Structure 1
Amino acid sequence: MTESANPPAAKSSLVFVFLVVLIDMLGFGIIMPVLPKLITSITGETISDAAVYAGWLAFAYAAMQFIFGPIIGNLSDRFGRRPVLLGALGGYAIAYTLMGFASSLLWLFAARIIAGIMGASFSTAYAYIADVSPPEKRAQNFGLIGAAFGLGFIIGPAIGGILGEYGTRLPFFGAGALAAFNLVFGFFMLKESLPPEKRRPFQLARANAVVALKALSGQNKVVLWYAAALTVWMTAHVVFPIIFAFYLIESFDWSELLVGLSFAAVGLGAAIVQGFLIRVLVPRIGERNSVILGAATMAVSCAFYVIASPEHAWLIFIAIPIGAMQGLFQPSINGLMSNAISDDTQGELQGAVASLQSLASVVGPPLFAAVFAAFTVAGSSFYLPGAPFGLAGIVSLVALAIFLRGYALHRTSGGVKPPTDDKGLAG
C-alpha cells in the first residue's frame, strides 16, 4: 500500500475505480437483452444464427483486451494509474455513442473494438486496488471489481430490458453521457496511487502476457498456475454474458423485459457476493476454500440450466442464486497472486492476467455460440439449448483442479510467504 494513499483518499479513490468498472459493465449490460433482437433485425437471420454473430462480436472485444491488456498495465506502471483510467473513460464515451448510431454489424464491430481497447483498463483498476490495499485486504477489495460487474448486470440489463420495449438506441447514448460525466468527475477527484519512486520504465518487450508472466514467475512460479486457473475459469464464465439471453429466448420465449430482469437478478447476486459476502467469507474460510466454493457452485448452477425446460422454468430462479457464489473464485485467486509478487509489478501482473482472461474470452464466445447453434438449429438431432452451460460447468471444474495444484505448490514454495490456511493461519 502506498504511503500517499491515506485511508480517506484510498476510500474515495476506490469508489471512483469502482465507478469506472461499473460504467463499462453498465454499457455492456445494456446491450444484453436487446442484442439478439438488434442482430436479427439487422441481418434478418434466426436466433441461432444471431448467437453466432454475438459470439464474434465478443471475440472482437476480447481480442483487443488480449492485445492491449499488458500494454496498458505496463503503461500504468510507468506513468501511473490515474491517466490510464481517465483515458479509458473517454474511450468508453466514444464507443457507446457509436453503438447508439450503429445501423449495421460493421458499426457494432467498430464500437466493440474501441470498447475492448478501453476495457483493457481493468488491469489498471486491479493494480490501483493493489496499490491502496494492505496485503491482507486485497482479496476483499478486489471483490469491489466483482461487485461493479454485478451492479452493471443489475442496472444495465434492467435499463436495456425496459427501454428495449420502446427502442434500442437511447440506452447507449445514456451510457456514453455517463462515461463523459465520470471522466470530468475523476479529473478533479481521482488521486494517483503509484508514487514516482515506485514506477518503472515502460518496456514494450514485456508488454505481452507470455513475457510478463515469465518475468513474474521469477519471483514466484505459482503465479503461472494461478493465471492458468483464471484463464480456464474465465473461458467457462463467458458463457453467461454471451449465451444467457439467447438461451432464455430460445428455451422459454421470454421478452426483452424478462431477459433484462433475469440478468438483473444475476447481477444482484454477484453484487451481494462480491461486494459484501466475500468480506465475511474469505477471512473465515480462507482463499482456498473460497475458490473451491466458487467453482463448485458454478458447476451446480450450470447443471440446472441444462435440465431446465419450458415446463420447469422455475429452475432458473434456483440456479441464479446458487451461481452467484461463483463470484468468490476470481477475487480470491487475484488476492493470492497479488500477495505473491512485489509492489512495483502489480500493474504488470494485472495486465498479463487481463490479457490471458481476454484470451479466454476470445476462445469462449465463438465456442459456446457454436455449441448453442448446433443444439438449437432446425433439424438438430438432439435439441438442448442448455448444452453450452453443461460444457461451461465441466470447464469450471478443470479450472479448480489447476488451482488446487498451484495452491499446493504455493504452500511449499521455498523463500515465499505461504498463503493463509482455512483458519487464517500461515501454512
Structure 2
Amino acid sequence: MGIGLVDPILPAIAESLEATPTEAEMLFTAYLAVTGLAMFVTSFVSSRIGPKKTLLIGLALIIVFAAAAGLSNDVEAIIGFRAGWGLGNAFFISTALATIVGAASGGTGAAIVLYEAALGLGIAIGPLVGAALGDVSWRGPFFGTAALMAFAFIAITVLLRKDDPAEFRPTKLSASVRALGNPTLLALALAALFYNIGFFVMLAYSPFVLMFDVWGLGLTFFGWGVGLAITSVFVAPWLTARVRRSRVLWVALPLLALDLAACALFIDDVAVLVGLIIAGGLVLGVLNTVLTECVMGATELPRVVASGAYSGVRFLGGAIAPPAATELAKLLSPAAPYWAGAASVLVAAVIVVCSAKALARADADETETDAPAEAEAILIGDAA
C-alpha cells in the first residue's frame, strides 16, 4: 500500500508547506535512494540476526519515521524522515516473503500466490487510502502508515515463531556489490534502472500534471494499480509460459515507451491522459514480473545476493526520476518528462536486445531452487 499512499497528497503537501514540486518529489527520492543503497547490506544483516528480528527492526523504523513525518511542519524534515522510512522498508521487504514461505502450511506455490494477491491489492488500494486520509489532512497518510505498521509489528511479535540460529546462513558484506560483476545480472540491473525511471515518471510526476484533488488522484492511481495487479498476477505468467522472457521484454518495453510518448502528446487532454496512465499500469505489471523472473534464473549466485544487487540498482533509477521530471518540466515543458521517460525505457529495451546472449540463461527453464531465497527474489523485484 505504501508505494501509492503518498501519491494523492503530493500537490497538497507542496501547497500546504509552500514547497516546490521538486521538493515534494524528494519524498520519493529520499525513500527510494536509501532503500536502494540499503539493499546492498540487508542480506548481510538478516542472515546474522534472523528474519523475525529483521522484520521487526524494519517495521519499527517505518513506524517511527512515518509518525515523525506526520508531525513535521516543513518539507525538509519530511524528506529526512522519508529517508529513515526507506531504511526500514529495505529491512522489511528483503525478508518478508521468505518468512511467509517458511511459515505457510500450503507450500511455496500457495504462499507466493497469496503474496502476489496481497501485493496487487495493496498497490490498488494504497492510493484510495491515501486519498481518504489526505482528504482530512496531508498528514493523514503518514499517520495511517504508522498505524498499519504498528498493527503488523504486533502481529509478527505474537504470531511468528522465534528465529532458529541453526538456520542462519551468513553472507559477506560485499556479496551483493560483487554480484554485479556477473554480465547477465549487470545487464538486467541496468535495464531495470532505466525502466524504473519511466515507471516513476508516470507514478510520481503525473499528479502534478493532472492537478486533481486527492480523490481524483486516488481513483486514477487505483485504476493504475488494478491494471498492474491483474497483469502481474495473471497475464505475465501466461505470457512467459508461451514465450521467452527476453522476447516478452522486447515487446513490453517499447509498448511502455509508446505509452509515455502518448502521455507527452496528449498532456492537455486530461481524460486521455488518465486512460494512458491506467494503460501504463497494465504494461508495468508484465514488466515487473518478467524482470524478476529473469533475475531469478540469471546466475548461479544465491538468490538473496543476486536480488539484492539487482534491486539496489533498480531503486536508484526510481530515486532519480521524480525530481528530474519536475526540473525538466520547469526548464523545458510539461511534456518533457514524459518524453524523457519514454527515451529512458527505450534505452532499457536496447540493453535487453543487445544482451541477448547474456540473457540466454534467464530464458532457460527454472531448475529446482531454494524456496525462501526464490521467494525473497520475487518480493524484492516486485516491491520496487
TM-score of the superposition, structure 2-length normalised? 0.82
The residue type equivalent to 1:103 in the other structure is N
Q: Secondary structure at the match of 2:61?
A: helix
Contact map agreement 1:143 1:278 (CA 8 A) in 2: no
Q: Secondary structure at the match of 2:289?
A: helix
Matched with 1:211 is 178
Does residue 1:234 correspond to 2:196, yes or no? yes
Share of identical aligned residues, percent?
A: 25
> Partners of 2:240 and 2:362 in 1: how far apart?
18
Contact map agreement 1:70 1:352 (CA 8 A) in 2: yes
The residue type equivalent to 2:209 in the other structure is Y
Counterpart pick for 1:255 among 172, 195, 213: 213
> Partners of 2:271 and 2:350 in 1: how far apart?
32
Matched with 1:53 is 23
Counterpart pick for 1:368 among 325, 344, 363: 325
Contact map agreement 1:142 1:331 (CA 8 A) in 2: no
* C-alpha displacement of 1:150: 4.5
* C-alpha displacement of 1:144: 4.9
The residue type equivalent to 1:405 in the other structure is C
Change (3 A) 1:407 1:126: farther
The residue type equivalent to 2:122 in the other structure is G
* C-alpha displacement of 1:370: 1.0
> Partners of 1:407 and 1:165 in 2: how far apart?
48
* C-alpha displacement of 1:191: 6.1
Deviations 1:310-365 (A, max 9, x none): 4563343144225422222232222222223347x222222212211222133222
> Partners of 1:309 and 1:323 in 2: how far apart?
17
Does residue 1:165 correspond to 2:140, yes or no? no
Does residue 1:96 correspond to 2:53, yes or no? no
Deviation larger for 68-77 or 182-191: 182-191
> Partners of 1:124 and 1:143 in 2: how far apart?
16
Does residue 1:393 correspond to 2:342, yes or no? yes
Does residue 1:290 correspond to 2:248, yes or no? yes
Change (3 A) 1:398 1:144: farther
> Partners of 1:347 and 1:179 in 2: how far apart?
24
Contact map agreement 2:202 2:277 (CA 8 A) in 1: no
Contact map agreement 1:76 1:84 (CA 8 A) in 2: yes
Deviations 1:367-421 (A, max 9, x none): 212112224xxxxxxxx4232112111111111221223332233xxxx686249
Matched with 1:419 is 364
> Partners of 2:41 and 2:113 in 1: how far apart?
21
Task: Give matches, 1:76-95, under 5 Å.
Answer: 76-95=46-65
Counterpart pick for 2:285 among 317, 321, 327: 327
Deviations 1:181-223 (A, max 9, x none): 11222234446899946713x433x06x533423xx2xxx312
> Partners of 2:273 and 2:32 in 1: how far apart?
31
Q: Secondary structure at the match of 2:78?
A: helix
Contact map agreement 1:27 1:156 (CA 8 A) in 2: yes
Q: Secondary structure at the match of 1:340?
A: coil
> Partners of 1:385 and 1:33 in 2: how far apart?
19
Does residue 1:404 correspond to 2:358, yes or no? no
Change (3 A) 1:418 1:130: farther
> Partners of 1:271 and 1:100 in 2: how far apart?
29
List runs of 5+ in structure 1 lacking aligned partners: 1-25, 376-383, 422-427
Change (3 A) 1:279 1:185: farther
> Partners of 1:188 and 1:325 in 2: how far apart?
39
Deviations 1:215-249 (A, max 9, x none): xx2xxx31221122112211222212320111111
Q: Secondary structure at the match of 1:203?
A: coil
Matched with 1:3 is none
Contact map agreement 2:38 2:90 (CA 8 A) in 1: yes
> Partners of 1:188 and 1:248 in 2: how far apart?
44
Task: Give matches, 1:3-402, under 5 Å.
Answer: 26-43=1-18, 50-121=20-91, 122-125=93-96, 141=112, 144=115, 150-190=120-160, 196=166, 199-200=169-170, 202-204=171-173, 206=174, 210-214=177-181, 217=182, 221-249=183-211, 254-311=212-269, 313-342=271-300, 345-375=302-332, 384-402=333-351
Contact map agreement 1:222 1:407 (CA 8 A) in 2: no
> Partners of 1:268 and 1:35 in 2: how far apart?
21
The residue type equivalent to 1:352 in the other structure is A
How much is the aligned-residue C-alpha RMSD, in angstroms?
Answer: 3.2
Contact map agreement 2:61 2:88 (CA 8 A) in 1: yes
The residue type equivalent to 2:323 in the other structure is P
The residue type equivalent to 1:386 in the other structure is A
Change (3 A) 1:196 1:103: same
Deviations 1:85-118 (A, max 9, x none): 2321222222221122121113312320111111
Change (3 A) 1:74 1:171: same
> Partners of 1:86 and 1:294 in 2: how far apart?
37
Change (3 A) 1:195 1:213: farther
> Partners of 1:306 and 1:419 in 2: how far apart?
37
Residue-pair matches, total: 361
> Partners of 2:337 and 2:232 in 1: how far apart?
25
Q: Secondary structure at the match of 2:73?
A: coil
> Partners of 1:418 and 1:311 in 2: how far apart?
40
Contact map agreement 1:52 1:369 (CA 8 A) in 2: yes
